[in-house]
Structure 1
Amino acid sequence: MNVGKPFDEENVGKQIGVNLRQFRTSKGFSIETFAQQIGVSKLTLIKIEHGEANPTLSVIWKIANGLNIPITTLLSIEPEVTIARKKDGLRLTSSNDVFVVEPLFQTHGSMEFYRGYIQPLGQYFSEAHQHGVIEYVTVMAGRLTVEVDGNTYHLDEHDSIRFRADRSHKYVNPSETLTILHFVISYNNR
């Protein structure tokens, strides 16, 4: 029986760098071309590839989208029989720490699973994901407002929403308590 190991946060940046370089070069992208394509500075990508930086959630999304891979593939999370314990999980945060996601399992197909947290009265704007990406979000605790294509959707505890995430969207916690979410992201174009 293989039980997943806790994440070694000190080596997460290094692992992302190794995987970034491997995927980028296998797709034939120079670092300059890839930086321009995803809108991240060349210097930032160099630092990430050398394991000298831990990228923000926004930068990780841009890298994964530019490589057309799920985030968990970029992170190389160990598979097999795995228990995703909150205390052992990797935490990816927005630049202002308002939004946090925890990848739960390595992706072996076209789906990713995450735990998510939005601070009280916080909001997180997500850029469009790759073409064909669908998000499924369930509110596990608290309340959530999701904005997609100019429409606003209000969700209470245990409500769920599904939407095309290949367009920009925004998550808002309208309450004064922490909102806890469960995300499933489906990459239909794989």
Structure 2
Amino acid sequence: MDEINESKQIVLQIGGALKKYRKEKNITLDDLSELTGVSKLTLGNIERGETNPTLGMIWKISKGISLPLLALFQSEQPVHVYRAGEGLRFSNDEKNWIIEPIFKSNDIEMCRAYLQPNSSYLPEGHHVNTTETATVMTGSIEIQVDGEVYTLKQYDTISFRADSPHSYTNHTNSQTVLHISLKYGF
């Protein structure tokens, strides 16, 4: 599947999952807008596959409806292979932070994350009582949690409450690759 068709398929999958959630909960677009802080017009466009939501918007929707982020990308396939650099990828507006979903269960999800050289990423606030665990696979990174700075090198791991303010900074001239797990507390 070429990149354009794959991107459109992802947009349709997000829209379908969001519409399914809304119908299962018997809520209107107005209700969903109130829960998420995203306009009714934008949510309708997402449901119809007419817009490609940003990573920040997907986080906002996920948080607003207390649903793990990757639940919006669920597939019914019994076996999944997630190859690095292939398949589903999301980036922030600056394109310096890229994530690739790897795994999702009811309350845990895992992704591969790439932080570009000499850049920082400040995530959207995560769901309450969510624990984030990050392992550096290549490179090194500086992670700030609640104002405290932690420097991690290859294979180092950090775990922290993801609903507290945190950021990732790559001070090197090489891309840093991380495996990140989120354990939701709901």
TM-score when normalising by structure 1: 0.88
Whole-Å Cα distance in 1 between the matches of residues 120 and 11 of structure 2?
26
Q: How many residues align structurally?
A: 182
Q: Which runs of 4+ in 1 moved over 3 A?
A: none
Whole-Å Cα distance in 2 between the matches of residues 11 and 121 of structure 1?
32
Is 1:177 matched with 2:174? Answer: yes
Name the structure 2 match of 1:56: 54
- 1:11 is displaced (CA, Å) by 0.8
On the 8 A contact 1:19/1:75 being kept in 2, the answer is yes
SS at match of 1:17: helix
SS at match of 1:123: strand
Within 5 Å, give how 1:8-19 maps onto structure 2. 8-19=6-17
Whole-Å Cα distance in 2 between the matches of residues 146 and 38 of structure 1?
27
TM-score when normalising by structure 2: 0.90
Whole-Å Cα distance in 1 between the matches of residues 167 and 27 of structure 2?
30
SS at match of 1:88: coil
The alpha-carbon distance between structure 1 residues 31 and 167, as it changes in their structure 2 partners (threshold 3 A), is farther
Whole-Å Cα distance in 2 between the matches of residues 78 and 93 of structure 1?
24
> What is the alpha-carbon root mean square deviation over aligned residues?
1.7
Structure 2, unpaired ranges of 5+: none
Name the structure 2 match of 1:35: 33
On the 8 A contact 1:127/1:167 being kept in 2, the answer is no
Identical-pair percentage: 37
* Structure 1 letter corresponding to 2:119: G
* Structure 2 letter corresponding to 1:151: E
Whole-Å Cα distance in 2 between the matches of residues 132 and 49 of structure 1?
28
- 1:43 is displaced (CA, Å) by 2.2
Whole-Å Cα distance in 1 between the matches of residues 70 and 24 of structure 2?
18
The alpha-carbon distance between structure 1 residues 179 and 108, as it changes in their structure 2 partners (threshold 3 A), is same
Structure 1, unpaired ranges of 5+: 1-6
- 1:40 is displaced (CA, Å) by 2.2
Within 5 Å, give how 1:36-185 maps onto structure 2. 36-105=34-103, 107-185=104-182
The alpha-carbon distance between structure 1 residues 28 and 151, as it changes in their structure 2 partners (threshold 3 A), is farther
On the 8 A contact 1:111/1:185 being kept in 2, the answer is yes
The alpha-carbon distance between structure 1 residues 32 and 48, as it changes in their structure 2 partners (threshold 3 A), is same
